Every structure is written in structure tokens, then in C-alpha cells.
Amino acid sequence: MANAHQRIGNGDHGIIALNGWFGHAGDWGPMTASIDTQAYSWAFMDQRGYGEMKDAAGPFTIEQIALDALALADELGWARFSLVGHSMGGSAVQKVLALAPQRVRALVGITPVPANGVPFDEDGWGFFSAAANDLGTRRAIIDLTTGNRLSGTWLDHMTASSAANSTPEAFGDYLTAWAKTDFLSEIQGKDTPVLVIPGEHDPALGAATMAQTWLTHYPNIAMEVMSNAGHYPMFETPVALITAIEAFLAKH
């Protein structure tokens, strides 16, 4: 049985969307209201331990997310499909490419984790590790990664949604998964069409990080920086984001 998912659209171009560390399939923000449902079929998948898969057993790894995404594609009857990944999901979509390159039409990474993970110093690792069991830390991370510039009400919503739609075990394990999984040798140089979308106000996975990682990993890659967005452009600049994604996918 494939992982639970939310389906939007009935178009011929299938897209599997994989959320980030704080997300889940049921809430990709206002972006989903502007999807072209005639051209695209989006399947927003819940990772194990999240959303409708909250009670599912692990392992809570990047490879397992990728395997579950491939199983979902099989269940949907999609021989070839595109992938959109946000943050942690940006690592997972690349692992799908590593496992089944012939099935992937195109990749889109939204403020995405690179295939060689994210380095942390000791203090940073301690701060992020505390988020599994401390909601104040989760809120602080969301605030930090959006440039300390957004509504406290929205920060509260994102924190509460994360807590309600993940288990502490999965949340903790996924930090290690996205930060410390390195499979760069499996994807480097693949000529799959790739679009990477960093946010202007994302201090960690912004344009500079993309230039040092994703843009050196793939020969057929474009980058579009989302103005007035931090780490969550699906909430911050939803119409601009879906417009950029669909304009890119329309070519592939």
C-alpha cells in the first residue's frame, strides 16, 4: 500500500510533491488554490510519521521517502512523472532521481536541501535537535528561516500544524536524515531538467547555498529566486511560486 496523499488536478502531467521538515501533505499553503488542474495532476504525499501517515512505522529516512514516492507513482499508474520537493523534500526528490532516473521528467526544488546534506556547527545542531520535543524551538526555527519578518500568528499556525501532524520520533529522525544524508555521487551530473527556487530571505538555503550546491551538481539547471519570501514561499508568495513551477514544467 502506497503512502497516503492528497490529489489535486486531473491533467496528463503527473507531479509528486514531497513536503519539508515542518510540513505535511494536507497543508502546502495558498499555493494549491492556483494549480492548473487541467494540465497537471499533483499528488502531495505524506511521509511516514507525518499527516495521515503519522502512525506509520519508520524508518524515517530520505531513502524510505523516495521508495514510498516510487510506490505511490506505481499506485497512480505514472510511468514517468515530475517531482517537487520543499526543503527536506528537496533532498528526497533527488533520491528518487538516484533510484529511478528513467522515470523522472523534471525536478523542482523549493528552498531545498542539497544531495550532500546541510552542515551544522555544535550549537546549531543542538538548537535544531531540541525542536523535536520543544515547540518554542520549532517556532524560533520557522521565524529564523523566514528572516524574522513574518506575523506571529502565522508562526503560531505553522508551529501548531507541525506538532499536530508529526510524531516527535519521526521529526527527530528526519533532522538527521536531511542534514546528514549524502548521496551526491549518485546524482551529480545527471541531465534531468531541474529548477531550484530559493527564497530571498532564507538565511540557510538561499541563493548563495544553491549556487554552491545544486547549481554545481546538475548541468541542466535553472534558478529563480523568490522575492519577498524566506523558507516557505508556498505561504509567503504562493501565486508567484506556482506560476514559476508550472512555467518550468510546461517545457518538460
Q: What is the pLDDT of residue 2?
A: 73
Q: What is the pLDDT of residue 46?
A: 97
Beta-strand relationship, 40-45 and 221-223: unpaired
What are phi and psi for residue 16, nearest 5 degrees? Answer: -100, 125
Q: What is the pLDDT of residue 1?
A: 61
Count the Cβ atoms, other than its own, within 10 Å of residue 148: 12
With a threshold of 0.85, does the pTM exceed it?
yes
Q: CB-hemisphere CA count at 13 Å for 200?
A: 8
pLDDT along the chain (252 residues), means of 10: 90 98 97 98 98 96 98 98 98 98 98 97 97 98 98 98 98 98 97 98 97 98 98 98 98 96
- Measured CA distances, 16 to 19, 74, 219, 224 (Å): 10, 12, 23, 20
The DSSP secondary-structure symbol of 227 reads T
Q: What is the pLDDT of residue 3?
A: 85
Q: What is the pLDDT of residue 228?
A: 98
